[in-house]
Structure 1
Amino acid sequence: MVKTFTGTFRSLAVRNFRLFAAGQVVSVAGTWMMVVAQDWLVLALTGDSGTALGTVTALQFAPLLLLTLYGGRLADRYDKRRLLIIANVVSGVLALLLSLLVLAGEVRLWHIFLFAFGLGVVNAVEVPTRMSFVSELVGGELLPNASALSAAYFNTARVVGPALAGLLITGFGTGQVMLLNAASYLATVVALRMMRPGELHRGVRKDSRPRVVDGLRYVRSRPDLMLPMALIAVIGLFGMNFQLTLPLIAKTVFHSDSTSFGLLTTAFAAGSLLAAFAATARRGRPSSGTVIGSALAFGLLETLTGWAPTYTVAAVLLAATGFATIYFAQAANHRIQLGSDPQYRGRVLALYTLIFQGSTPIGALLVGRLTEQLGARSGLYAGGLVSLAAAAVALAVERARKRAVPLPAGTRPPTPGRQAAPPTGSASHEEVRTSDERQ
């Protein structure tokens, strides 16, 4: 059976990863159904308020800003499989309580605020734990493929979830959709329980009491990790607020119903899915040029999406933007994760999550206020142009860093037409640079 899974799907040869992926497809589809239902409910309760929608998004991501580093510390210290089981059970209970309020006709805006904050607290532990758990499922050799497949099943669910949610909301209302989301968490819990712990690649813990500050110092000492972290910070803050901008574009610019909104989200997710499958071909750590180039493409495409004159053009551009979004995010993730020491990986990925998703509360509030003042398109324009500027700055910084890398001691600059030989017993300049980037 192992020989059946080659190329794109080679990580699925690992039984534990197959279980994990199957459970996640169901659970994440439920989550994206919930996103559509929650956003539609907020707009219905508030008269299409961008500020209210931004507040819900901010409350859901604020705990990531405050608690994710601690969540990464827990991931490096405790059994990741057990932490994920607990997190999914708690998330399911929260979703069940909100769905019952909606079905009973008693839901208020503050209930949604409270649910968003509670889910954010759970996600502060679940996200870095889940990301670092993938390496335990498949080991280092298959990690790039497994990480890309994780993005693929995430975006498969992101295609199915919103489209199905739009139809179900129209036919049955938001309460039933939220109830299905609550049930979907059971798929992940069952999959985690069915795994064989003895087949996990856990390695040896060198530090039984890992500290957050040690992880921060480790990242600060690595320029090759700092650059993608900085790009993620700016683009995550200003460019990746689609949970806010897409419903506003659908309802206030194109005057769409819930089904058409779901299809716009599906177009974005379809492009994301293609990017995830494209990334499965990656077998090693991506270069900084790949990260920066994909960031430039993302900024350009988001800016063009803000200009889209019709619903059809918007859907096409959103598909392209979705591709660029995931390709950039995966390139940055792989460069950071594959360049990190395993004993720091939970804390490094917690910092990545903090920067990537924890910046969302601030970005959601800023973009929400901007769209309320200047219209829904302004959110996409601002995100795209700021992302373009950040990528251009990153490109200049990376070129300056490469020029500043010193030659090994005793090496003379090469004369024109002649390649300088390294001194006996030392590495060449290119080997030194490559070694530094692989650390």
Structure 2
Amino acid sequence: MAKTDPYAALRIKEFNIFLLLRLFLVFGWSMQFIVIEWQVYSLTKDPWSLALIGACEFIPAFFMAPFSGHIVDQKEKRNLLAVCIAAFSLISLGLFLLTTNMVITTWSTNYILYSIYALVFFGGFLRSFFGPVIFSLIALIVPKNIHPNAATWSTSTWKTAAVLGALFGGFFISWMGVPNTLCVVFILVVIAFLLTFLIKRKPILNKKIGEPVKESLKAGILFVFHNKAILGALSLDMIAVLFGGTVAILVIFAQDVLKVGSQGLGILNASISFGSIITMFVTTYIPISKNTGKKLLVSIFIFGLSMIGFGLSSVFWVSVLMLFISGAADGISMVIRQTILQLKTPDEMRGRVSSVNSMFVGSSNELGAVESGVAAKLMGPVAAVVFGGIMTLITVIAIGIKNPVLRDLDLTADIEENKTLL
């Protein structure tokens, strides 16, 4: 067996530009999420307002996802990504303006909240495009034989940006205030937009240009539902994120349960992503190809246990440790899921399959925010997190029993086959 090169994808110049672009974009996006959650909860002191943020992003992201996948497969990827980033920069600019003193002192609180919700809704619409276009673009930048390595580095970069954005988002609120922090976000997004044009335009591999939308959507959905490995991985992550995610209500723990303020909020958010980063970099040296399905099930089971531990903790650093463990487990599951998708998806269907992934996993983040906010409102934040962790454990056990294809999945042969290409 040939020795695995952990830096194979990094030897491609355009891929490095892509990673830098994604670093700036996700860093700003992550920081913006923290700031808006903080601002809205500070204005309302109501968990329901956090649930509304999740709902405003989930609804357009979920229902637009099938159509965005079709569009991505029909269009040139580099320019489409540039358009998406340009539109996102307008959202960042709008959120910055909504938090300035001029607006705060002249507009009513409800009007400000409604405007924020509207921009978040538009952001959900855009997010339905980001996943498919980025997933498709990676496959066009790097050769197929190093797709798994590229998926690991791309996901690691995403998590690195998320941890830095979460960490600096909390600290920047304390250091420079909400408006200035959102101004930084806008600048980062503009930089990401400019970096896009350092990547060359890519060919459109879909041979069915102009295919009717109905037939295109049907083909993408049927492919996912007929592939038990992909379907099982997406279903498992969807339900785990839906019930096990706590990010949407961390602001409640920071302000009301642990009482650690905005800097503590930044540390709590950062600990999740920091755990993911470590495990993702480890997987570049220790591949997850052998017993892939069992590793996925175990990682998400550990994720559920750590969520229960976090919910029951009243000590800040214990809470940080539990979130770190949850991030480490989530990092493994993300690398495994992305590897499965990259290896099992035909080039001409990457946009549509990624859009289904967005419906399953990506949108479950926002729907999970709704679930977390409602559960926190009805039963309190501690009980809500513990309940979510228990539901995650039940899900892992059920899917492990009911889906033997996923449970027994091993990607060793797939990866070796792709290493012989080119």
TM (norm. structure 1) is 0.85
* Preserved contact between residue 287 and residue 335 of structure 1 (Cα < 8 Å): no
Deviates more, 1:369-378 or 1:81-90: 369-378
Deviation at 1:391, TM superposition (A): 0.8
Match of 1:76 in 2: 73
* Preserved contact between residue 159 and residue 267 of structure 1 (Cα < 8 Å): yes
Give 1 or 2: higher helix fraction: 2
Match of 1:326 in 2: 331
Distance (whole Å) between structure 2 residues aligned to residue 362 and residue 156 of structure 1: 24
Match of 1:309 in 2: 314
1:297 paired with 2:280, answer: no
Match of 1:109 in 2: 113
Within the candidate set 372, 392, 399, 1:367 is matched to 372
* Preserved contact between residue 50 and residue 249 of structure 2 (Cα < 8 Å): no
1:266-325 per-position Cα deviation (integer Å, ceiling 9, x unaligned): 111110111221232338587322222222121122122212230010011111111111
Higher relative contact order (CA 8 A, sep 6+): 2
Distance (whole Å) between structure 2 residues aligned to residue 266 and residue 318 of structure 1: 9
Deviation at 1:151, TM superposition (A): 1.6
1:240-284 per-position Cα deviation (integer Å, ceiling 9, x unaligned): 2x3312212111210121111111111111101112212323385
Match of 1:50 in 2: 47
Match of 1:275 in 2: 279
Distance (whole Å) between structure 2 residues aligned to residue 316 and residue 308 of structure 1: 10
Equivalences for 1:335-414 in 2 at 5 Å? 335-399=340-404
Q: Which amino acid aligns with 2:329?
A: A
Q: Which amino acid aligns with 1:79?
A: E
Distance (whole Å) between structure 1 residues aligned to residue 405 and residue 288 of structure 2: 28
Match of 1:32 in 2: 30
Q: For residues 378 and 131 of structure 1, do their structure 2 counterparts lie closer, same or farther at Cα, with a shift above 3 Å needed?
A: farther
Within the candidate set 102, 127, 130, 1:126 is matched to 130
Distance (whole Å) between structure 2 residues aligned to residue 276 and residue 387 of structure 1: 22
Distance (whole Å) between structure 2 residues aligned to residue 187 and residue 275 of structure 1: 28
The alignment yields a C-alpha RMSD, in angstroms, of 2.5
1:179-211 per-position Cα deviation (integer Å, ceiling 9, x unaligned): 1111111222222201233xx5x5743221351
Deviation at 1:83, TM superposition (A): 0.6
Match of 2:191 in 1: 187
Q: What is the percent sequence identity of the aligned residues?
A: 21
Distance (whole Å) between structure 2 residues aligned to residue 161 and residue 401 of structure 1: 34
Deviates more, 1:368-377 or 1:355-364: 355-364
TM (norm. structure 2) is 0.89
Equivalences for 1:163-312 in 2 at 5 Å? 163-197=167-201, 202=203, 204-210=205-211, 211-240=216-245, 242-281=246-285, 282=287, 287-312=292-317
Query: Aligned pairs, how many?
Result: 401
Distance (whole Å) between structure 2 residues aligned to residue 53 and residue 284 of structure 1: 38
1:17 paired with 2:22, answer: no
Q: For residues 369 and 434 of structure 1, do their structure 2 counterparts lie closer, same or farther at Cα, with a shift above 3 Å needed?
A: same
Q: What are the ranges of 5 or more consecutive residues in structure 2 without an aligned counterpart? A: 105-111
Deviates more, 1:277-286 or 1:331-340: 277-286
Within the candidate set 149, 155, 160, 1:145 is matched to 149
Structure 1 stretches of 4+ with a deviation exceeding 4 A read 283-286, 400-403
Match of 2:108 in 1: none
Distance (whole Å) between structure 2 residues aligned to residue 225 and residue 261 of structure 1: 34
Deviates more, 1:242-251 or 1:277-286: 277-286
